[in-house]
Amino acid sequence: MKIITTTNNVQGGVEAFKIFKHEIENGAKVLGLATGSTPVTLYQELAASSLDTSNLISINLDEYVGLTPDNDQSYHYFMQQHLFAKKPFKKTYIPDGIKAINDPEGAAVDYDKIIAENPIDVQLLGIGQNGHIAFNEPGTSFDSTTHEVTLTENTIKANSRFFSNIDDVPKSAICMGIANIMSAKKIVIMAFGANKAKAIKAMISGPVIEDVPASILQKHPDVTVIVDSAAASELNK
């Protein structure tokens, strides 16, 4: 893994943007995109740039089950606000959290087909404090493809900061599996803040185990980790 340590999240966004720009200028057509607070600075850089995204396809990692795209807590809404309204893509895909209410398996099969037809050139990831990637919680099989996930208390609590009430946080999500993520040609994972330091340490130098979903990235041939000094603080201990 290549590790880039920056002073803060804004600088981290600049570094991530350089990588995406380089890949796009060298033929990348399909971007795997992520939500959460971490990628926001990258999306700001992208939105402010003159980079042409009109020929690109995006495939997002996950969506809450039960939130309509116009719900301001949905990941559809997030992507629209932070990126797509400013930088139109040729086609954008996000898992169907409404179909998944009654037919999670159908929604998952649909999404795996989309990924198979549009192999991901560069996959962007954040990381949860417990080492989750997308919504693949500890214990998820490394062979998993798109599936419905019951969110852990830990993740519901962490994500409740975006909701007015913790009870409003959906209890499940539909998300790409670990195998889908590992199929990307290149992976860029970003993490900022001291609350990510333990997860980053476990991801980079801990054992590759399903209890730390991000640890599987040690087995991928092309991963760049972008961290600020706080998220990197456990690395030399």
Q: What does the radius of gyration of the chain's CA atoms come to, in whole angstroms? A: 16
Size of the site for ligand GLP (CB under 6 A): 14
Of 74 and 155, nearer to ligand GLP (C-beta) is: 155
Choose the catalytic residue: 45, 132, 159, 180: 132
132 is catalytic: yes
Q: Please name the amino acid found at residue 158.
A: A
Based on the shown chain and the rule CB under 6 A, indicate whether residue 31 belongs to the binding site for ligand GLP.
no
Q: Least separation, in Å, of the C-beta of 128 and ligand GLP?
A: 5
Based on the shown chain and the rule CB under 6 A, indicate whether residue 62 belongs to the binding site for ligand GLP.
yes
Of 142 and 162, nearer to ligand GLP (C-beta) is: 162
- Count of beta carbons in the 10 Å neighbourhood of residue 188: 26
Q: Which two tokens stand for residue 110?
A: 């649909």
Based on the shown chain and the rule CB under 6 A, indicate whether residue 134 belongs to the binding site for ligand GLP.
yes
- Region near ligand GLP per CB under 6 A, out of 41-49, 112-120, 122-130, 140-148: 122-130
137 is catalytic: yes
> 172: closest CA among 95, 112, 91, 69?
95
Of 62 and 148, nearer to ligand GLP (C-beta) is: 62
Q: Least separation, in Å, of the C-beta of 136 and ligand GLP?
A: 9
Q: Which two tokens stand for residue 222?
A: 């092309």
Q: Least separation, in Å, of the C-beta of 155 and ligand GLP?
A: 5
Which one of 12, 32, 95, 128 is in contact with ligand GLP (CB under 6 A)? 128
Question: Would you name the residues annotated as active-site residues?
Answer: 62, 130, 132, 137
Binding-site ranges for ligand GLP (CB under 6 A): 34-38, 61-62, 126-128, 134-135, 155, 159
